[in-house]
Chains A and B, each alone.
Chain A
Amino acid sequence: MNEMLIIMKSELLITIIIFLLLFIKLGKGMTNDSLLILVQFLMLLNFIAGFFFNLPGNLFDGMYHTGPLIAFQKNILNLGVYLISLLFADWFRKSEHLTEFFILLLSALLGMFLMISSGNLLMFFLSLELATIPVAALANFDLDKKKSSEAAMKFILSSAFSSGILLFGISMVYGATGTLSFELLPAQLNGNPLQVLAFVFLFAAFAFKLSIVPFHLWTADVYEGSPVAVTAFLSVISKGSVSFIFLTALYKVFQPMNELWYNMVMILSIATMITGNLFALRQQNIKRFLAFSSIAQLGFILVGISSNALEGTSSVVYFVLIYVFSNLAAFGVTSVISSRVGKENIDEYRGLYQTNPFLCWVMALALFSLAGIPPTAGFFGKLFLLTAGASKANYTFIIIAALNMILSLYYYLKVIRAMFMEKNEKPIEKIRLYPSVKLGMVICAIGIILTGLLSWVFDYIQSLH
């Protein structure tokens, strides 16, 4: 009994925090400022607690399982949520329903934790829904903005559709094998046509959640319309958690269909990188621009996934850790500027360096890391992804991926040039940052630099496998 509580401790901790916030909501009067400080403190505690008492184990007849790697993945997600609570303070302070916001956010996080730990397709489906439905409500949080409700509508409909496809795939898996457990499935898979069809449906559902190219159409609209904090959550935490479970699904469950999914992953990866990059070139709105850049990054994650289990898992987990730092820093700067001055166009960022050098440096570091330029961690992340992908000796694929990295430099540097080098008579005025936002940005900047330079981080992740 006690052991069960310790094995599920990260989920239980989140549940306790959710209930605490519910009680605070029931009680009277807490200003947004003090509530925000409390939430940041709780998130920090939650993040620190993730490092202690991690017991591996199986629960509920294999429905739930955890181990060192899964605990580390949960820590990455916890870190992301802590950074979100720090970085988007500007928007949180203005928000009318802060408690509800965090209750929904943490419910989605709980869903993601259960999803990473799931050992059965039933559990996987339930937790995936728990991770999706609250986010649709979150996307609608700018209640008076037309764009926000439009984004929420697009998100809930496309996610309902994708879960329909997922379920159809699962039902065929059940018909073909008679089991839903991740442990028993691989032995039953022999690659007959029904199983292949089922796998294609499952793959399509994953592609929807990860916004891989033929299924990416909802991404840009949802990212642009939602509040920036939700966009950051969607693009970092949600994408990260789905790619973690995607690793398990491909390497553990569908390992017997290895050759089949290698080709699918390769083709979709090339399509994703090229489409994401080409569409990012012509964006003017910075949130839309980051949306397409995150689609392109997902293409690179797929390069890593196409490898074998050990290298693929460690390089993807490492890349997601870096991606948390760099993308959240970029979204943090965007959020400060959009909620203080209301400007979201790249042209309006011109001359930002004259007035806000700190914001400019953070943004530049983040974009350099996303583009993969050497001193930053993004370079090492991409390097390991490409090395992992090259282990299958399909060099044309790797060369196309490397060429895409060069292509992506153009649009990342365009933003940096607008901020640093172009003159503007009326640049955005000087913004005084809240201390928590500054702290979040400093953590991100340190993370961007140190995760790449400290070589033991990658070794540690590899040792967890």
Chain B
Amino acid sequence: MIQPGLYQILFISTALFFIGIYGFFTRRNLITILMSVELVLNSVNLNFIAFNKYLWPNRLDGVFFTIFIIAIAAAEAATAIAIIINLYRSHQSIDVENAEEMKY
């Protein structure tokens, strides 16, 4: 069995990062946009773990950082979902196209 190297993992994480960014810019549903942001954050987690395993195996900063990112992502998602629920109450929709009172 072939062990994956650093390049393979970095390729996956970079792809995941840009898939997340693509989703952030093209999706119209707020929940899906939030999911895209989570993809970006998880790609960073992969990055940290990969760097920690292959380049700096005797340090722990990367692992700690990953744990904190997971916690912060949860906090951010909770706040964002609360805001989205409130937006749904006032706009009757969670489509970004309908939240367009302010422009330019």
Contacts and interface: CB of A to CB of B under 8 A. Distances in A.
A168 B44 contact: yes
Given A164-B20, A168-B44, A153 B87 contact: yes
Given A178-B59, A224-B102, 13 more contacts: A122-B61, A122-B64, A126-B68, A129-B76, A136-B83, A143-B86, A146-B90, A151-B102, A153-B87, A156-B80, A164-B17, A168-B47, A178-B55
Q: Which of A125, A137, A170, A175 has the most CB of B within 10 A?
A: A175
A175 B55 contact: yes
B99 A153 contact: yes
B65 interface: yes
B19 interface: no
B59 A160 contact: no
Contact of B75 (A122, A133, A144, A171): A133
A294 to B, nearest CB: 16
B51 A175 contact: yes
Contacts of A156: 76, 79-80, 83
Contacts of A179: 61
Contacts of A80: none
Contacts of A239: none
Interface string A98-126: 00000000000000000000000010011
Contacts of A172: 47
A261 interface: no
Nearest to A181: B61
Contacts of B68: 122, 125-126
22 contacts: A125-B68, A126-B68, A133-B76, A136-B83, A144-B90, A146-B101, A147-B102, A153-B30, A153-B99, A157-B37, A157-B80, A161-B24, A167-B40, A168-B17, A168-B44, A168-B47, A170-B44, A175-B55, A180-B61, A221-B102, A221-B103, A224-B102
Contacts of B21: 161
- For the complex of A and B, list the 3 residue pairs with the smallest distance between their C-beta atoms, beginning with the closest: A164-B40, A171-B47, A175-B51
B12 interface: no
B86 A149 contact: yes
Interface in B21-39: 21, 24, 30, 33-34, 37
Contacts of B61: 122, 174, 179-180
Contacts of B17: 164, 168
Interface size class of B (residues with CB under 8 A): 35 or more
A149 B47 contact: no
B56 interface: yes
A386 to B, nearest CB: 30
Interface in A253-310: none
Interface residues of A, number: 39
B87 to A, nearest CB: 4
A152 B61 CA distance: 33
A253 to B, nearest CB: 15
Interface of B is mostly: helix
A225 interface: yes
A170 B48 CA distance: 9
Interface of B: 17, 20-21, 24, 30, 33-34, 37, 40-41, 43-44, 47-48, 51, 55-56, 59, 61-62, 64-65, 68-69, 72, 75-76, 79-80, 82-84, 86-87, 89-91, 99-104
A335 interface: no
A221 B101 CA distance: 9
Contacts of A145: 90
A451 interface: no
A126 B20 CA distance: 22
A399 B104 CA distance: 29
A225 B100 CA distance: 11
A156 B87 CA distance: 12
A150 B75 contact: no
B48 to A, nearest CB: 5
A140 interface: yes
B44 A150 contact: no
A158 to B, nearest CB: 10
Nearest to A177: B56
Contacts of A125: 65, 68, 72
Contact of B87 (A126, A149, A171, A221): A149
B88 to A, nearest CB: 9
Contact of B83 (A122, A147, A153): A153
B76 A174 contact: no
A103 B2 CA distance: 54
B69 A167 contact: yes
B41 A167 contact: yes
B37 A152 contact: no
Contacts of A170: 44, 65
B92 to A, nearest CB: 11
